[in-house]
Homo-oligomer: A and B are copies of this chain.
Amino acid sequence: MVLLSGGLDSSTVLYFAKSRGFRCFCLAFDYGQRHKKEIIAARRIAQSAGSTLRVIKISLPWKGSALLDKSLKIPGAIKASRYMDIKVWARQVTESIPVTYVPGRNIIFLSFALSYAEAIDAQALFIGAHAQDYSGYPDCRPEFYRAFRGIVSTGTKSGVEKRQIQVKTPLLGKNKAEIIKLGVKLGVPFAWTWSCYRGGSKPCGACDSCYYRQKGFREAGIRDPLSEDLR
């Protein structure tokens, strides 16, 4: 089971799982996000890796995130630059949680993935979360994944029956540049991935997600096939 958003992190995770010999089933979510293009990206990436993709439509009727609520502005590069010097923020996230935070989003995604994983008797659940170099989401931190493993062992049939589904976060300690290098090594078709929060016809180059993508490619010394005109 691979949670696949269509961005470069989850795409790299899919190729990583595949390289380790896993037969992969991917799961993406249509949750009313502005950047629906990522679902199209997820489909292409899954196909390229020879995996199946299921898209789950969920409604989060409550607002509270700029990714869902069009009355909130997605912060641009000036805001993003506030975070650029945060090297390891995993321990103390306080005021830096951004407006693009969707309450409980990863928890919801992981719950569905866990349900699906149990139903198909999967061995492992892969997610491309990483704690470094990102925008301060609490549900991307190592301690959250430790807690989530507790959920798997206590709250599922497989956990109780001691054939617990492994929760794999292979990117957790990596920064964007390291992820990109790994992806290139694994043959991830980065040209098909989508990162921009704004979901326009081209990456905006200004939101957090574009900012970290560009920074990652630059630091890795690799050309981003998707947005070379933005470099």
Contact = CB atoms under 8 A, between A and B. Distances in A.
Interface residues of A, number: 48
A123 interface: no
Contacts of A146: 150, 154
Contacts of A119: 60, 62-64, 103
A104 interface: yes
A151 B94 CA distance: 17
A218 B141 CA distance: 49
Contact of A155 (B107, B114, B161): B107
Contacts of A78: none
Contact of A154 (B94, B101, B103, B138): B138
A191 interface: no
A105 interface: yes
A160 B140 CA distance: 12
Contacts of A94: 160-161
A22 interface: no
Interface in A142-198: 143-144, 146-148, 150-151, 153-157, 159-161
Contacts of A116: 62, 103
A111 interface: yes
Q: What is the interface of chain A mostly: helix, strand, loop, or mixed?
A: helix
A88 interface: no
Interface stretch (A13-21, A39-47, A50-58, A207-215): A50-58
20 contacts: A54-B61, A56-B61, A62-B120, A97-B157, A97-B161, A103-B115, A103-B118, A104-B111, A104-B112, A104-B118, A104-B155, A107-B114, A107-B115, A107-B155, A138-B157, A144-B151, A146-B150, A147-B153, A148-B155, A150-B151
Given A60-B112, A94-B160, 17 more contacts: A56-B58, A56-B59, A57-B59, A58-B58, A62-B120, A64-B119, A93-B160, A101-B157, A103-B116, A104-B114, A104-B115, A104-B155, A104-B156, A138-B154, A146-B154, A147-B151, A147-B154
Interface of A: 54, 56-64, 93-94, 97, 101-108, 110-112, 114-116, 118-120, 138-139, 141, 143-144, 146-148, 150-151, 153-157, 159-161
